[in-house]
Each structure stands twice: as structure tokens, then as C-alpha cells.
Structure 1
């Protein structure tokens, strides 16, 4: 093999190794609430067993994680009885979000699947959607729609509003969602077209698209990052006001 041929072969191996590493990191990533737009399963769960249960680092924080290696253990922990939002699974781990009701902040990370018991989700009525739902920098109000079985959604979100310097210089980015849709099986989705609400499949490439699911006492939302200014997203876990 010529020198140039060897160089090409080495380069190909490096590219393949890099791609494999990137794939592993991507597959092990667990830092946000379930991405409903990708069809990730989402449901309520509860921590079982005895003693503290530590979150487990993902592959981006440490190569090879999640794993039983003590080096993969994170600082955050939960205790039996804590309720979580469950997402995707990898090996013996489940990606879970713990909504902190007092602070409004969330913790997301891998948990050993053996210490998380999925909860049965009762049927979700239209009334279960109604109310004002909040998370940090976002608010979603849901009312009964004019047509039977429908709900009317009105939401607003910001990016950067929590930074006083950014707010002072007017660099806060804004986003809005709105539509009327009929939920089914505890979930709903829609696109925002120029003439109103559209089924998701009929939304254009650059239209705002929204997914929502009722999970336990929470509302989980996701979007396609086209519902407002740069970095604005409605994705996250919301708590209903007054609960």
C-alpha cells in the first residue's frame, strides 16, 4: 500500500471511530425532559426500595456511563416515594425527570430501572388538561374549546428573562403558541399555520409544531424550536397553578 493509501485508510478509521463515539454519546445522553417529538415514551413513576438513589451520569459526562461503576454516580439523589417523569431506556437504566415542586426547577438523569416503579396512568379527561401550567420562563393556559372534546391553548415563553443584564439590554427572546385541538389518549399535537391550527402532518417545514402529554400531575410539552425567537422552546415539565 502506498503512503497516500495508508493515509486514506487511517483517516477512514479515525472518522469511523469518531462517528462511533459520537453515536455512543448521543445514545447515552439524558439531560432533558422526554422529547415527545421523537416519540419517546413518557409516563409517571415512583422511586421504590430503601435509602437514597443517586442519579447516574450520562455518556457525555463520562465515557461508558450510565453504568454501575461508582465513577458514574452523580451528586443528585432521590428517596423512596419521590415521583418522576419517565423517558427512554438504555440497558438497565431509565432517563427520568424529577420536578421539584417548591423551586420549579427540574433534575434529569439516568436512574437504575430496578428502583423505579412505573405508575398506572388513569384515563385523561378533557378537564384534566384545563388550567394554567407553568415552568421556568414559560406559561401555558388551557381552556375548554368551543367544540365538544376540544381544548384551547395559549402559551408564552422566553429565553434569557432570568438574566438581569440580558433583560436590561432588551435581549430577551420571546415565543408564543396557540391553537384548538382535541386531545386523545392523554396526548395532543398540532401545528400553527397561517390560517390557524393544523394537524401536525399538515404543518409546513417552518411552522411551529407542538406536542403535549399529561403525565401524572404534570404537563409535559415539546416543540420543534420554531415557536419563537432564537433558543426559545416550550419543552419541559409544567406544574398546574394552585396544586
Structure 2
């Protein structure tokens, strides 16, 4: 029981921890940068509130303001997006679309925020999907806690790498975390191999925002993620 309490406390404490990679991501508006900011600082739901086309803008020199930064991808009035940052009149936005998602800068003046109620435990439950090959399923266990299971496969590679994790999900408001780190096993490994790096483990961070679940399995605690090279759970999921 004591060990379980220690592990739970450590996991909850790590919900607010940030990595050096997150600091580097603060200036980017790509998938990785968006997810890191959403995990560390939160994100909000918006919708396009102007007629016509609202084009995405890319990162780069002079971007997003320069005309050359404009992408072909665009949204129209009432399209929903998640926003993780607003800076100098531009919003870093993630649009969950079909067949693919789009991440980039949008004019903040084109968007209107959608108020969201506080996150409850029931808001976590369900089968969440990112693309066609990555899912996260969250259920209640017999004691009222949450259990999470994730599966992914990268079908874009000749030998498709896969990823999987399963176990208890610890939540604190809109944030959640899973980890299969075993402190006792890690201490034994360190005692046996004092000069070796610690053995890899799987750690996943979650963030609930409006209709979305933001997921990241690659950070300072778990640099290889939960599927190794080529298979990742990073993304914005929908039920």
C-alpha cells in the first residue's frame, strides 16, 4: 500500500512538470509544439466566426504574417479548432478533419472562443481515435478509478511499428497521466548496473479540452514513447 501511494503521488506531481523540449516547442506551431503547449499551459476550443476562407499560415522567417507563409489549407465559418497559443494577433490552431488534421497559424480575429464547462471524470470515458490506426480507450474500474489502454500502428512503413500501453490513469482536473515506471525495479537495475542509463519505460500525458483529448507519449520522462521509433501516440483525439 505504501509503495502504491508513493507512485501515485509521484505521478500526480509530474502533471505540472515541463521538459526542455517543451521550452523549445514554445515558438513552434506544428504538431509537437502544439501538443506540448496544450499539455503544459492548456488549450481552448474556438470556432471560425467570419465568412469566407480563413487560411492557415506556416512557421518560418517572417511568418505567420508574411503573404508567402499562407498555406492552401483553410477553414470556413463555424469550423471548430483547438487553440494552444495566441501571439501578436495569430492563434496556433489544430483542426481535426478528414482525412487528415491540420496545424498552423490562423488570424486570431477570425476566431471566437467556445466556453467549456469544468472537466469531470465522466468526460474522460470512451474510445478516442486519432486517424484510422491509433486509439485510446478509457473505462472505469470496479473501485471507481480510471483505466486506460492505447494501441497504434504506423502503416506508412514497410514493417509497420506498433505501440501499446495499458493500466491506471491518474487524473487531476483536465490533466491525466499514465506510466508503467516501476521504482523498485529501477532501483534494482541501478544497483546492478550503476553506470548504465535507466531502462526505458512508457509514460503518457493527457489533456481534456472540450470535445478533444490531447495525448503525448514522448517527453523527458519517456523519450522513446510507448512504441519505439516510428510509432507514436502524439495527437489530438476525438470520440
CA distance in 2, matches of 1:121, 1:64: 34
Measure, in 1, the Cα distance between the counterparts of 2:165 and 2:210.
Answer: 23
> What secondary structure does 1:30 align onto?
coil
Aligned to 1:19: none
Between the aligned partners of 1:54 and 1:135, the Cα distance in structure 2 is 23
SS at match of 2:171: coil
Structure with bigger gyration radius: 1
Partner of 1:218: 212
Of the structure 1 ranges 30-39 and 83-92, higher mean CA displacement relative to structure 2 is found in 30-39
Query: Offset of 1:31 from its aligned partner?
Result: 2.0
Q: Normalised by the size of structure 1, how large is the TM-score?
A: 0.72
Alpha carbons of 1:205 and 1:92: their partners in 2 closer, same or farther (altered >3 Å)?
A: farther
The residue correspondences of 1:76-95 to structure 2 (distance < 5 A) are: 76-95=73-92
After TM superposition, the score normalised by the length of structure 2 is 0.73
Q: Is the 8 A contact 1:36 1:221 kept in 2?
A: no
Counterpart for residue 158 of structure 1: 153
For 1:118 and 1:36, the matched residues in 2 are separated by: 18
How far apart are 1:71 and its partner, in Å?
A: 1.9
The structure with higher relative contact order (CA 8 Å, sep 6+) is 2
Q: Structure 1 residues 26, 145: CA separation in 2 closer, same or farther (over 3 Å shift)?
A: closer
SS at match of 1:181: strand
State how far apart, in whole Å, the 2-side matches of 1:142 and 1:122 are: 20
Using the TM superposition, give the Cα deviation of residue 180 of structure 1 relative to its aligned residue in structure 2, in angstroms.
Answer: 1.1
Shift of 1:206: 3.1
User: How far apart are residue 49 of structure 1 and its match?
Assistant: 2.0
Deviation of 1:47 after TM superposition, in Å, equals 1.1
Task: Report if the CA contact (8 A) 2:176-2:205 is conserved.
Answer: yes
Which secondary structure does the structure 1 equivalent of 2:29 belong to?
A: coil
After superposition, the CA RMSD in angstroms is 2.4
Name 1:3's counterpart in structure 2: none
Match of 1:10 in 2: none
Residue of structure 2 in register with 1:208 after alignment: 202
CA distance in 2: counterparts of 1:187 and 1:104, whole angstroms: 28
The residue number in structure 2 matching 1:187 is 175
Contact 2:170 2:178 in 1 (8 A): no
Q: Distance in 2 between matches of 1:131 and 1:56?
A: 33
Give the number of equivalent residue pairs.
195
d(CA) in 2 for partners of 1:208 and 1:111? 34
Are residues 1:111 and 2:106 paired? yes
Task: Report whether the alignment pairs 1:236 with 2:235.
Answer: yes
CA drift of 1:37 comes to: 8.0
- Which ranges of structure 2 fall in alignment gaps of 5 or more residues? 1-23, 185-197, 219-223
Give me the whole-angstrom Cα distance separating, in 2, the residues matched to 1:145 and 1:195.
Answer: 24
Residue 125 in structure 1 maps to residue 120 in structure 2: yes
Q: Which shifted more, 73-82 or 221-230? A: 221-230
Counterpart contact for 2:146–2:169, Cα < 8 Å: yes
How far apart, CA to CA, are the structure 2 residues paired with 1:154 and 1:124?
A: 20
